[in-house]
Structure 1
Amino acid sequence: MNKIKLLIADDHRIFREGIQALLVKEAGIEIVAEASSADEIYNILESKEIDLVLMDIDLDGSSGIEATRKITMANNNIAVLALSMHSDHSYIMKMLDAGAKGYILKNTGKDEMIAAIKAVYNGASYFSSDVSQKLISQLVNKKRSNSSDIPLTRRETEILRLIAREYSNSEIADELFISIRTVDTHKRNLLEKLGLKNTAGLVKYAIQNGLLND
């Protein structure tokens, strides 16, 4: 089994060391490097193989939001999971718009952090419970976007709903009795049809259009 190659990006050394202490004995995760600034992140990504960046919003002299945007635009094989003290809706949305696939808070426990890392690595989205509540409370009260007029097939709606409920591709396949390849095809079609960039965009669309209320 391949280990998840992790880069920890945070401007506080003591916090980076704390994360390492929590995860160092986790069998499925390998901490490859750590960084305190965006420039350090970019240099590491050029020289080392990284699967996932655990990204703080506040970096040394730079923004984790902008770093996330550059990383996800340059290489869609590298996933970004936000780990932040900021629980404001605006910060959450900026990170998701930048391409982060998940958002957890710094008061998250070890087990949930590991679950989030594994979920995002496997292509799902992950939000800590407080973050999920903020997203839902904000988005369900907004006017539905014009894209809600785009017709989806019954199967596309089923898959979109399961994606928003944090099901992995294999779990969706098992739930709907279809192949993982078919799930991948539907997901690509959904992204193209709705004009979205990633799984986080699909989750936002599902919440905004009330699919989790059904």
Structure 2
Amino acid sequence: METNLELIIVDDHMLFRQGLIQLLNERLEQVNIREASNGKELLSMIRSQKPEIVLMDLEMPEMNGIETSNALLSDPAYKDIKIIVLSMHENEKFVLELIESGIHGYVLKDADIDEVIKAIDVVQSGQYYVSQHTLNAIRKDVNLSNQFDHTFEFEGEKLTEREKEILRLICKEYTNKEMADELNLSVRTIDGHRNRILKKTGMKNTAGLIKYALQKGIYSLD
């Protein structure tokens, strides 16, 4: 975990916020944690100091998590802020829609603190956190799509064998550093490959790449 992490927890339940702040302060070093009770309060706070990561609840008064996420994702001034949703919503279609909208991770509130920290670590390193629940949502969506004609699918430039190899490692949740070590390449080279894969496939993030890899038979969750 990198140092000097600026993080804001947005949730309308004070006890939840305070409990999570205590757990994170016990486990993370050199982290500055602020808190907000809803999206409106968050937007007011970040005008003076933008966080690196926002841990966002969905159901909040005045301005809920979906409205707040959309506001952050649509404003170029906040493009560097990473959003991890913390929610009790388990509907897999709903989860997949949120991930595909551009948020960086989705963690159920009944997860343990280790998963929350893993999500923060992955997102801080520049990746998208894909939980088991998100993988299940992707798997179901792909299985449903496979029942219909694929003429609607994006048909971009074909991936090279090296790009397919990197895509499989992305699906296995390798970080860019781990991929660089595995393939004896530089992290910068991996970054370049990842960006080209995103451009060729038309996907926005890791969840989209996993979905693409499953649809094309490049990777299997079985």
Q: Would you call these one fold, judging by a TM-score over 0.5?
A: yes
Q: How far apart, CA to CA, are the structure 2 residues paired with 1:199 and 1:59?
A: 27
Shift of 1:33: 1.3
Q: How far apart, CA to CA, are the structure 1 residues paired with 2:41 and 2:214?
A: 35
Question: Contact 1:33 / 1:44 at 8 angstroms: preserved in 2?
Answer: no
Shift of 1:72: 2.7
Q: Pick from 201, 205, 220: which aligns with 1:194? A: 201
**Corresponding letter in the other structure for 2:202:** G
Q: How far apart, CA to CA, are the structure 1 residues paired with 2:40 and 2:82?
A: 18
Q: Deviations over 1:166-206 (max 9, x none)?
A: 21111111111111111111122122222233344323333
**Higher gyration radius (CA):** 2
Shift of 1:148: 5.0
Tell me the residue number matched to 1:89. 92
Change (3 A) 1:41 1:157: same
Tell me the residue number matched to 1:61. 62
RMSD: 2.1
Shift of 1:85: 0.3
Question: Contact 2:156 / 2:201 at 8 angstroms: preserved in 1?
Answer: no
Change (3 A) 1:60 1:119: same
Q: How far apart, CA to CA, are the structure 1 residues paired with 2:218 and 2:85?
A: 24
Tell me the residue number matched to 1:34. 35
Q: Is 1:100 the counterpart of 2:99 in the alignment?
A: no
Which range is displaced more, 199-208 or 16-25? 199-208
Q: Pick from 154, 177, 184: which aligns with 1:170? A: 177
Tell me the residue number matched to 1:158. 165
The alignment covers a number of residue pairs equal to: 214
Tell me the residue number matched to 1:20. 21
Q: Pick from 132, 141, 144: which aligns with 2:144? A: 141
State the TM-score, normalized to the length of structure 2. Answer: 0.86
Structure 1 residue runs of 5 or longer lacking an equivalent are: none
Structure 2 residue runs of 5 or longer lacking an equivalent are: none
Shift of 1:209: 3.4
